[in-house]
Chain A
Amino acid sequence: MKKTYKVEVDCAACANLMEEAAKKTPGVKDCTVSFMTLKMKVEFDEGADPDAVMKDVYANCKKVEDECEIYL
Chain B
Amino acid sequence: MNKKQKKLLYRIIAAAVLFVPLYLISEGIVPNDIPRWAVFLFFLIPYLLVGHDILRKAFKGIMNRQVFDENFLMTVATLGAIVMGEYGEGVAVMLLYQVGELFQSCAVEKSRRSITGLMDIRPDYANIETDGQLEQVDPDDVEIGSVIVVRPGEKVPIDGVIVEGSSALDTSALTGESMPRSVEVNDDVFSGAVNLTGLLKIRTTSEFGESTASRILELVEEAVSNKSRSENFISKFARVYTPIVCYLALALAVLPPLFIMITKTGLSNYAGIGALWREWLLRACTFLVISCPCAIVISIPLSFFAGIGGASSQGILIKGSNYLETMSNVRTVVFDKTGTITKGNFAVTAVHHSPIPEDKLLEYAAHAECNSSHPISRSLQEAYGKHIDRSRVTNVSEISGEGIIAEVDGMKAAIGNEKLMERVGAGYQECHHAGTIVHVALDGAYCGHIVITDEIKDTSKEAIAALKKAGVEKTVMLTGDAEKVAKAVADEVGMTEYRSQCLPADKVNRVEELLADSSERSRLAFVGDGINDAPVLARADIGIAMGALGSDAAIEAADIVLMDDDPLKIAKAIRISRKCLRIVKQNIVFSLGVKILCLILAALGIANMWIAVIADVGVMILAVLNAIRCLNTKNM
Contacts and interface: CB of A to CB of B under 8 A. Distances in A.
A10 B105 contact: yes
Given A16-B235, A36-B305, A64-B66, A11 B224 contact: no
A12 B298 contact: yes
A36 B293 CA distance: 17
A13 B293 contact: yes
B297 A16 contact: yes
B64 A67 contact: no
Contact of B60 (A10, A16, A41, A66): A66
B223 to A, nearest CB: 9
Given A13-B293, A16-B235, A35 B301 contact: yes
Contact of B221 (A37, A63, A64): A37
B112 A32 contact: no
Contacts of B64: 63-64, 66
Nearest to B104: A11
Interface of chain B: mostly helix, strand, loop or mixed: helix
B221 A11 contact: no
B499 interface: no
B519 interface: no
B418 interface: no
Interface string A2-34: 000000001111001100000000000000101
A18 B460 CA distance: 47
B227 A13 contact: no
Interface in B83-112: 101, 104-105, 108, 112
B601 interface: no
Contacts of A34: 221, 224-225, 301
B302 interface: yes
Contact of A36 (B104, B105, B224, B297): B224
A37 B220 CA distance: 10
Contact of A11 (B60, B222, B227, B294): B294
A63 B66 contact: yes
Contacts of A67: 57
Contacts of A36: 108, 112, 115, 224, 301-302, 305
A37 B57 contact: no
Interface residues of B, number: 28
Interface string B582-593: 000000000000
Given A36-B112, A63-B66, A64-B64, A12 B227 contact: no
Interface residues of A, number: 18
B238 interface: yes
B224 A13 contact: no
Interface in B232-264: 235, 238-239
Contact of B301 (A12, A39, A64): A12
A17 B66 CA distance: 10
B298 A41 contact: no
B70 interface: yes
A39 B170 CA distance: 30
A13 B112 contact: no
Contacts of A17: 66, 69
- Residue in B105, B224, B225, B239 with the greatest tally of chain A CB atoms within 10 Å: B225
Most buried by B among A12, A17, A32, A37: A12
A63 B65 CA distance: 9
Nearest to A30: B225
Interface string B285-308: 000000001100110011001000
Contacts of A35: 108, 298, 301
Interface string B526-566: 00000000000000000000000000000000000000000
A21 B302 CA distance: 22
Most buried by B among A35, A36, A37: A36
A12 to B, nearest CB: 4
Contacts of B293: 13
A16 B232 CA distance: 10
Interface string A46-72: 000000000000000001101100000
Nearest to A11: B294
Nearest to B302: A36
A31 B74 CA distance: 30
A70 B298 CA distance: 20
A13 B73 CA distance: 14
B298 to A, nearest CB: 4
Contacts of A16: 235, 238-239, 297
A61 B409 CA distance: 82
Given A12-B302, A16-B239, A35-B301, 11 more contacts: A11-B101, A12-B297, A13-B293, A13-B294, A32-B225, A34-B224, A36-B302, A37-B221, A39-B221, A41-B222, A66-B60
Interface of B: 57, 60-61, 64, 66, 69-70, 101, 104-105, 108, 112, 115, 221-222, 224-225, 227, 235, 238-239, 293-294, 297-298, 301-302, 305
10 contacts: A11-B104, A11-B298, A12-B294, A12-B301, A12-B302, A32-B224, A32-B227, A37-B305, A38-B112, A41-B225
